[in-house]
Amino acid sequence: MKKATIAAALMLAALPLAAQQTGVRVTARNAADNSLAFDAAITGYGTFTIRLAVADIRNHAGDDALTVTVTTGNEGGEILLIAPQDAARPVTADFSWDWINGTLDATPDLGFIYRLPIAAGKSTTVRSLTPAEAGMMRDNIADFRMWEFAMERNEPVFAIRKGTVIHVEGYDAENGQTGGGTIIVEHADGTQARYASLRSGSALVAPGDTIFPDTPIALAGELRSGGYGVQVGLYRYASNRNTALYPHMMAQTEFINPLFMTATGNGLLTDGQRATAKTTKKLLDAESGRTSFWERVFGR
């Protein structure tokens, strides 16, 4: 967790953030009535959850320590206000904070149907990955599930669901770098999709973009197992249950095994499965607000 006194936090506020850096900075200030206000300045896109721990609170009628967790958009702003016991003197305190770029303990839509990340009509061999194969052996994860889709070199990778792009590895607009490698997208229900092993420099989207299931996001990259393709994982941030190994972490990454639309029907994928991508107007328009006459009348 980041720690600061009021004076140190005010000094930090004067430092510029690097271009395209995602982060949260919390500062404290005394208001005109001597209450102590905490403000969050956020750089990045999507939802942020901030855990603020305030200790050694002085001139306050309540507890001398408290911890609050706040979920907010990237607009930031005031996240906590502590009133003084004696209005003639300011409230003072020490504080620390940590954060995640996402929603903590979101409720996923487990019935949602996702599209395969390949073009409609294309077929792929699906492989279930291990944490080691995905480079996540040391991460705080639960119920790991990530899929690898074999593709042709430079074949476009499609978004599996509508969402907001919150991370593009290597993206730097100032230097004209589109990025690639890994792209992360946040969905309406608080879940996130991680697209990995994309070709470096091939990103077709940028942080902050809203994308749809018919949006190509990048090109297939080289896989560690050989050949080309993409690795996709769906997950949410859950309250940390692995406190023995990760005592100071707010959240762990909890993976979800989603339902995908294929040419043979909707369902869970299996390791080694040969799957052919299928799309329908209903799938492509999901969460977009666009509906045709046939969808409104017949639901398809």
Range in 65-79, 144-158, 280-294 the model is least confident about: 280-294
For residue range 6-30, what is the model confidence (pLDDT) as tens digits? Answer: 333 332 333 333 345 899 999 999 9
pLDDT band at residue 5, thresholds of 50, 70 and 90? Answer: very low
Please return the burial class of 99, using the count of CB atoms within 10 Å of its CB with bins 0-12, 13-18 and 19+. Answer: buried
Q: Mean pLDDT of all residues in the chain? A: 91
Give me the pLDDT at residue 179, please: 85
Torsion of CA 272, 276, 277, 281, to 10 degrees: -140
- The count of residues in the chain is 300
Give me the pLDDT at residue 3, please: 54
| Mean pLDDT for the stretch of residues 82-103 | 98
- 174 phi and psi angles, rounded to 5 deg: -65, -30
Last residue of a domain, one of 78, 100, 122: 100
Give me the pLDDT at residue 281, please: 95
Give me the pLDDT at residue 171, please: 87
pLDDT band at residue 173, thresholds of 50, 70 and 90? Answer: confident
CATH number of the CATH domain containing 57? 2.60.40
| Mean pLDDT for the stretch of residues 91-113 | 98
The Cα-based distances of 198 to 70, 88, 152 in angstroms read 33, 59, 12
Structural domain containing residue 253: 113-288
Q: Specify whether 262 is located in the same domain as 125.
A: yes
Instruction: Using the predicted structure, report yes or no on whether residue 42 has a pLDDT greater than 90.
Output: yes
Give me the pLDDT at residue 11, please: 29
CA distance linking residue 2 with residue 257, whole number of Å: 34
Residue 130 belongs to a domain = yes
Q: Specify whether 77 is located in the same domain as 217.
A: no
| Mean pLDDT for the stretch of residues 40-60 | 98
Q: Specify whether 131 is located in the same domain as 267.
A: yes
Instruction: Using the predicted structure, report yes or no on whether residue 100 has a pLDDT greater than 90.
Output: yes
Q: Specify whether 178 is located in the same domain as 254.
A: yes
Q: How many domains does the chain have?
A: 2
Helix (H, G, I), strand (E, B) or coil at 268: coil
Q: Which of 22-36, 163-177, 283-297 has the highest mean pLDDT?
A: 22-36
| Mean pLDDT for the stretch of residues 210-239 | 96
CA distance linking residue 192 with residue 195, whole number of Å: 10
Instruction: Using the predicted structure, report yes or no on whether residue 210 has a pLDDT greater than 50.
Output: yes
CATH number of the CATH domain containing 172? 2.70.70.10
| Mean pLDDT for the stretch of residues 63-91 | 96
Q: Is there a contact between 36 and 52 (Cβ–Cβ < 8 Å)? A: no
Global pTM reads 0.88
Give me the pLDDT at residue 295, please: 52
pLDDT band at residue 177, thresholds of 50, 70 and 90? Answer: confident
Q: Specify whether 217 is located in the same domain as 253.
A: yes
For residue range 126-169, what is the model confidence (pLDDT) as tens digits? Answer: 999 999 999 998 999 999 999 999 999 999 999 999 999 999 99
Give me the pLDDT at residue 57, please: 98
- Nearest Cα neighbor of 239 from 163, 142, 164 is 142
Q: Specify whether 129 is located in the same domain as 194.
A: yes
Residue 296 belongs to a domain = no
